[in-house]
Amino acid sequence: MAVATTPVNVDRQLAWTAAGPAPSPFPAALIAGSANPRLANRVERALAIRLAACTTERFPDGEVFVRIDESVRGLEVVLLQPTSPPVNDHLIELLAMADACRRAAAARIVAVIPYFGYARSDRRDGRRTPIMGSLLADLMERAGIGHVITLDLHTPAVEGFFRIAVDNLTAVPVLADTLRARVPSDAVIVSPDLGASHLADRYATILGLPVAICHKHRISGNHVSISRVTGDVAGRPCVVIDDMITTGGTIVECVRTLRAANAMPDITVAATHAVLVPGALRRIASAGVRKLIVSDSVGVTGEPVKELRPIVVSVAPLIATAIRRLLDGGSLRELA
């Protein structure tokens, strides 16, 4: 698995002369949970702020133990923890860290949650289910979190589930930068369903490419539906984009539809969150995908597959910029 080494600058402010991590020059503390230590280290370097000492352990019976090992009294604490799988463990750990900071008299607690688990549970559709996104928003506020920074939320409604400030950053510019050199100029950005069409528009605008959309189409009033693609893909290279990949099922179906529509066989896929369950990578590779570009919002897991080595673009500079502006009081609008 290769991390893109080409400098991916979000904006100029990122080019800090980071001679090495130093204690925070702001009255703030940066604390990382156990969910994505590699990303945490990259953010640490990009910010040139040393991560505060923190112990996160699991007891033999699976209970999470958290201890903050530096004073956070009166500080603005930034917790960095995606709620990636195992999602429940990472979630409870995040809440535990917030509780510890609150009881240690932190002035304010900001949670940076690059991947926000359970975001797809945003409606009930007439069934007696929870709305997990709404429940988690409530629990996070209750645990003392006062501000959330996240990345390419699956659904914008999650912002409204909170009453506090939520900043939804986007990895599209950094992913698009990496795509630029890798796709020909006659490529088409393809959204695998209606839900991702807004995201596809963002890629298309940055890259100057047209958009096509795959979607299920109900032929008659009964429950039979077929996948169709809207937009011209015949004979063109396709870049399928999505916010996240879990089982790869959506991607695989989209690839099939594109092939049926005579798209060029060499298909590229880009997604912000690589929540790859076992077998997902192989499944995508088997469908014929040859390039996969993802961010490091989630530690990319799953057994490696020879034919498909994901290109991982780091969102650490983006997150570092967001944290820096947060502490400076600057605007986050252009990162969203």
**CA angle at 300 for the pair 177 and 139, rounded to the nearest 5°:** 100
Q: Which of 217, 223, 214, 323 is nearest to 261 (CA)?
A: 214
Among residues 12, 17, 163, 181, the one that binds a copy of itself under rule CB under 8 A: 163
Binding to a copy of itself in span 174-203, by CB under 8 A:
194, 197, 201
Residue from 33, 114, 117, 173 that binds a copy of itself (CB under 8 A)? 117
CA distance 161 to 142: 13
Does position 18 bind a copy of itself by CB under 8 A?
no
Q: Is 116 in the site for a copy of itself (CB under 8 A)?
A: no
Nearer to a copy of itself, 12 or 223 (CB): 223
**Can you list the alpha helix ranges (DSSP code H) found in the chain?**
37-47, 87-103, 132-142, 157-161, 172-180, 197-207, 249-260, 280-286, 316-328
If DSSP codes are grouped into helix, strand and coil, which group holds residue 329?
coil
Fill in the amino acid letter for 69: D
306 is catalytic: no
The minimum distance between CB 5 and a copy of itself, in angstroms, equals 27
Q: Which residue of 79, 150, 152, 215 would you call a contact of a copy of itself, by CB under 8 A?
A: 215
Is residue 228 a contact point for a copy of itself (CB under 8 A)? Answer: yes
- Piece in contact with a copy of itself (CB under 8 A), picked from 17-25, 256-264, 309-317, 321-329: 321-329
**b (16+ CB within 10 A) / e for 223-237:** eeeebebebebeebb
Three-state SS string across 16-61, please?
Answer: CCCCCCECCCCCEEEEECCCCHHHHHHHHHHHCECCCCEEEEECCC
- Closest approach of a copy of itself to the CB of residue 19, in Å: 26
**Looking at 33-41, 81-89, 283-291, 312-320, which segment touches a copy of itself (CB under 8 A)?**
81-89
Q: Among 13-21, 41-49, 92-100, 286-294, which window interacts with a copy of itself (CB under 8 A)?
A: 92-100
CB of 317 to a copy of itself, least distance (A): 19
Binding residues for a copy of itself restricted to 47-66, rule: CB under 8 A: 59-66
Sign of the CA dihedral running 291, 295, 296, 301: negative
Phi-psi region of 92 (alpha: psi -120 to 50; beta: other; left: phi over 0): alpha
Q: How many CB atoms lie within 10 A of CB 292?
A: 26
Of residues 103 and 182, the one with the C-beta less far from a copy of itself: 103
Tokens of 131: 């709305």
Query: Interaction with a copy of itself in 254-273: which residues (CB under 8 A)?
Result: none
Taking CB under 8 A as the criterion, the residue among 28, 35, 179, 204 binding a copy of itself is 204
Residues 278-317 that bind a copy of itself (CB under 8 A): none
Amino acid letter at 249? G
Taking CB under 8 A as the criterion, the residue among 68, 109, 274, 312 binding a copy of itself is 68
Q: Which of 11, 15, 129, 260 binds a copy of itself (CB under 8 A)?
A: 129
The answer to whether residue 94 forms part of the interface with a copy of itself (CB under 8 A) is no
Q: Are 238 and 179 in contact (CB under 8 A)?
A: no
308 secondary structure, DSSP code: B
Task: Point out the catalytic residue in the list 58, 123, 180, 216.
Answer: 216
Based on CB atoms, which residue is closest to a copy of itself, 14 or 187? Answer: 187
Q: How many residues bind a copy of itself (CB under 8 A)?
A: 106
DSSP 185-220: TT-EEEESSGGGHHHHHHHHHHHT--EEEEEEEESS
| Catalytic site positions | 216
